[in-house]
Structure 1
Amino acid sequence: MSEKTSVTAAIGGGVIGGGWIARFLLNGHDVNVYDPHPDAQRLVNEVLSNAERALRRMTMAPLPTKGKLTFVSSIAEAVRDADYIQESVPERLDLKLKIFAEIEKHAQPDAMIGSSTSGFRPTQLAEGLKTPERLFVAHPFNPVYLLPVVEVVPSAMTSPAVVERASAFLTTIGMKPLVVRKEIDAHIADRLLEAVWREGLWLVNDGIATTQEIDDVIRFGFGLRWAQMGLFETYRIAGGEAGMAHFIAQFGPALKWPWTKLMDVPEMTDELIATIASQSDAQSGMHSIRELERIRDDNLVAIMQALKAKPWGAGEILKSYEDGLYAKAHAHAATANTEPSGPLALHTDRVREDFVDYNGHMTESRYLQVFGDATDAFLHYIGMNTDYLATGRSMYTVETHIRHLREVKMGEPLRVETRLLGYDSKRARILHELFGGPGDELLATAEHMLLHVDTKKSTASEMGEELRRALANIWAYHKTLETPDYAGKPVRNIATDGL
């Protein structure tokens, strides 16, 4: 499959289906949606709104242009032109079999078909299909647009090439495909969650803990460990210097003690259901579902951003995803101006929700961020790509002068024009002009001095020939442009120049 899928299809737009739709759209893929629910469009658009808000907070990398969302009236219309199809209908095997038969009838011969099922095995889902080799389980976790892991479960009939293509595609949209070695009911994650859920039901049923107390034990305790290390690596540390073998030898006998009731479950009586519901209402009933989703999203973003700085766990997936987004954006920028006869238009953005202060205007730190992104685009334009960086050479910003001229509000478009003011074998001087707002006015300017360095020695060094050639090509045009009178000047002296 190519890096960009022209069309994806989503069959079902509920909580999980809506999350898939958002992830596809926000990664630049068009999505055809079939869901007969009368409120499907409203529900999907509400999920999409939250997803866009969360993803913009999670990554500063330039996202692709959002794909086109189309609601259709039949499965046939949804899948006809789709390269990738994701089924997310209710967990009823008879319904899923009917859906897959209809998909197979109308889908392209090489279309991949994934199921969001949390429990059924792909062999069960492929019953009666003529082309079972392209069907697999792609089980995500809520919210699909933020959490990266997706369990990819093939059956014995699923083509290995299809698994490879599907995994590659899911990786490009920021996910971590985990190919399950053997199909099993409920796959891997839900079997683990089921064990915790069963024990939690018993603790409530027996009056030992409330729903909030159980959640507090998880979110203030082992949940924090699990979020970045999981189960076995956490226990490896618990074993101390002697490691996992010591841990098992020390705590393994406890597994024979009658602590849990995992082979049993309390009867879900009306009384137990009412108890759980009332405790849950007391715990979080003051928030609407959409508010809870946003709180959850903000917390997940914060955790993953913190892990990205390491990079570790989900943060490593986020960093890899962001690197890909930057590479795509910069590659696009590199072809945006084949002849730099005027200022280079290499970077566009918009004033995001987290760019603004209490006045609703973009904060000064975000001006620097936009200019920094524009500098990155310029460097990629002249050939400082990942291959160049891998040689131990880079360019660092060693001096910056920003002028703030006008305010701009949330949601308004931004664009940067960049010109080269001069260069030598080790340095380049560039000027950015930031335009935006409803009148596309000049908002700010930034002048940067860039120094070429040997990153291994942490010293200034001569540029590579490819960078010098690119700068020479730009300079042949930009040296004829009029240099703004403010370029190269220091901050205004109030005593002599006034305000």
Structure 2
Amino acid sequence: MNAHTSAPRPRDRVTVIGGGVIGISWAGLFLAHGLDVVVSDPRPEAKDQVLAGLAEIAPALAELGLPTERLTARLRFEPDLAAAVAEADVVQENGPERLDVKREIWRTVEAAAPAHALLATSTSGIPASAIATALRQPERLVVGHPFNPPHLVPLVEIVPGERTSPETLLRARDFYASLGKKPQILRKEVPGFVANRLQAALFRECVHLVAEGVVTEAELDDIVTDSIGLRWAVAGPFRTFHLGGGPGGLPHFLRHLGRAMEATWPGLGEPSFDEPTVALLTAQAEEAFGGGPVGELAARRDRAQLALMRALAATADGRQAQHGQREQPAQHGQATA
């Protein structure tokens, strides 16, 4: 919380609603930063799942330089939602991706949580404005959307609803930044936000290319990781095409190659997840990724991701390429993100 406000600083007590993959990841990050964490999930098996999940991600947290000894010492479980948020400074909701469920969750939270609590939803696509219709004070709710897994990937998209207050945006930004995240405040509300929309657009063409027999899933993955995946890790799409324009930069690229690129857009695929397509994708996934535990594949991915992040952090050029040197202008009355 900013120094000029009198409310408690939203750092000490966090309630994580939902003990699934995202909730576990958030809880691990919060605990590793020394916060008191309450996990609220009504499922009888939730406690065991959360504890097992925290044990799985502890090595990655340690690789990030975070303390993991006695990681669960500040953790407790409270299945009753109202009781779970009664003393929370921050509420991070990770419930089912259903509008009716989220509205009901937030009605309960608003009634039971302290007035100063920061209220954030991890929703992957539902606008805060739609959820906040259930609240008496919609200005308190903000989307704090991580990129999976939250304990590892730096991005958190902070998305305001139509009535989210500038103070709420600032508090969310400061809170996530204090955890080592890279919060990005979106300038306007859009379904799916930014990262998921980009991922969906690319994956749609991936599905089309596999369904049309141009490549297999394994071949397509190799193409991405050996080309644009490497490139985008250090320079996003606009910076990449700016450099592709040579001395004239992006303006030169757009003038000389933009129309040619635009001409390919109508030919991009529009696949659907019909039964034959799902069967094909499923069969190829089994062949490409084997029948081994998904947890092992995820751990291997996370180790590689950590190695890449360390390599980028080791060079000033890498940091500048990832995040640029210009700050984002203020929006909705808030300071820069």
Q: After superposition, where does 1:11-22 map in structure 2 within 5 Å?
A: 11-22=17-28
Q: After superposition, where does 1:259-278 map in structure 2 within 5 Å?
A: 259=265, 265-278=270-283
Q: 1-side partners of 2:102 and 2:10: how far apart?
A: 28
Q: Which residue of 1 aligns with 2:44?
A: 38
Partner residue of 1:231 out of 216, 222, 237: 237
SS of aligned partner of 1:28:
coil
Q: Which residue of 1 aligns with 2:292?
A: 287
Q: 1-side partners of 2:29 and 2:180: how far apart?
A: 9
SS of aligned partner of 2:226:
helix
Q: Which residue of 2 aligns with 1:309?
A: 314
Higher share in helix: 2
Q: Percent identity?
A: 38
Q: Which moved more, 1:268-277 or 1:44-53?
A: 44-53
Shift of 1:80: 0.6
SS of aligned partner of 2:143:
strand
Shift of 1:134: 0.9
Shift of 1:285: 2.0
1:46-89 Cα offsets, whole Å, 9 max, x none, are 33123220121233x76797461111121112111100001111
Q: 2-side partners of 1:97 and 1:192: how far apart?
A: 27
Q: 1-side partners of 2:19 and 2:254: how far apart?
A: 44
Shift of 1:309: 0.8
Partner residue of 2:141 out of 135, 148, 153: 135
Shift of 1:173: 0.7
Q: Which residue of 2 aligns with 1:219?
A: 225
Distance 1:185-1:138 versus aligned 2 partners, 3 A rule: same
Shift of 1:257: 1.8
1:294 maps to amino acid: A
Q: Which moved more, 1:233-242 or 1:218-227?
A: 233-242
Shift of 1:259: 4.8
Shift of 1:35: 1.4
Shift of 1:3: 6.6
Q: Which runs of 5+ in 1 are unaligned?
A: 318-499
- 1:68 partnered with 2:113: no
Distance 1:44-1:259 versus aligned 2 partners, 3 A rule: same
CA RMSD, aligned part only?
Answer: 2.1
Q: Which residue of 1 aligns with 2:132?
A: 126
Distance 1:210-1:260 versus aligned 2 partners, 3 A rule: farther
Q: Which residue of 2 aligns with 1:80?
A: 86
Q: 2-side partners of 1:65 and 1:110: how far apart?
A: 29
Q: 2-side partners of 1:20 and 1:260: how far apart?
A: 40
Distance 1:212-1:260 versus aligned 2 partners, 3 A rule: farther
Q: Which residue of 2 aligns with 1:373?
A: none
SS of aligned partner of 2:39:
strand
1:21 maps to amino acid: A
Shift of 1:242: 1.7
Distance 1:283-1:160 versus aligned 2 partners, 3 A rule: same
Q: 2-side partners of 1:167 and 1:256: how far apart?
A: 36
Q: Which residue of 2 aligns with 1:199?
A: 205
Shift of 1:135: 0.2
Q: 2-side partners of 1:237 and 1:314: how far apart?
A: 15
SS of aligned partner of 1:9:
strand
- Normalising by structure 1, report the TM-score: 0.60
Whether contact under 8 Å (1:27, 1:64) holds in the other structure is: no
Shift of 1:194: 1.1
Shift of 1:286: 4.2
1:416-448 Cα offsets, whole Å, 9 max, x none, are xxxxxxxxxxxxxxxxxxxxxxxxxxxxxxxxx
1:7-43 Cα offsets, whole Å, 9 max, x none, are 1001111111111111111111111111123332232
Q: After superposition, where does 1:148-227 map in structure 2 within 5 Å?
A: 148-227=154-233
1:288-346 Cα offsets, whole Å, 9 max, x none, are 111112101101110010011113339989xxxxxxxxxxxxxxxxxxxxxxxxxxxxx
Q: After superposition, where does 1:43-62 map in structure 2 within 5 Å?
A: 43-59=49-65
Q: 2-side partners of 1:221 and 1:256: how far apart?
A: 21
Q: Which residue of 2 aligns with 1:104?
A: 110
Partner residue of 2:97 out of 81, 84, 91: 91
Q: 2-side partners of 1:256 and 1:78: how far apart?
A: 52
Q: Which runs of 5+ in 2 are unaligned?
A: 2-7, 324-337
Q: 2-side partners of 1:192 and 1:293: how far apart?
A: 22
Shift of 1:197: 1.1
| Equivalent residue pairs, number | 315
Whether contact under 8 Å (1:140, 1:149) holds in the other structure is: yes
Q: 2-side partners of 1:126 and 1:90: how far apart?
A: 16
Q: 2-side partners of 1:100 and 1:170: how far apart?
A: 21
Q: 1-side partners of 2:244 and 2:227: how far apart?
A: 14
SS of aligned partner of 1:10:
strand
Of structures 1 and 2, the one scoring higher in RCO (CA 8 A, sep 6+) is 2
Whether contact under 8 Å (1:237, 1:244) holds in the other structure is: yes
Shift of 1:4: 7.2
1:173-228 Cα offsets, whole Å, 9 max, x none, are 11011000000111111111111011111112111111111111111111011112
Distance 1:21-1:314 versus aligned 2 partners, 3 A rule: farther
- Normalising by structure 2, report the TM-score: 0.88
Q: 1-side partners of 2:69 and 2:178: how far apart?
A: 12
Q: Which residue of 1 aligns with 2:14?
A: 8
Whether contact under 8 Å (1:10, 1:32) holds in the other structure is: yes
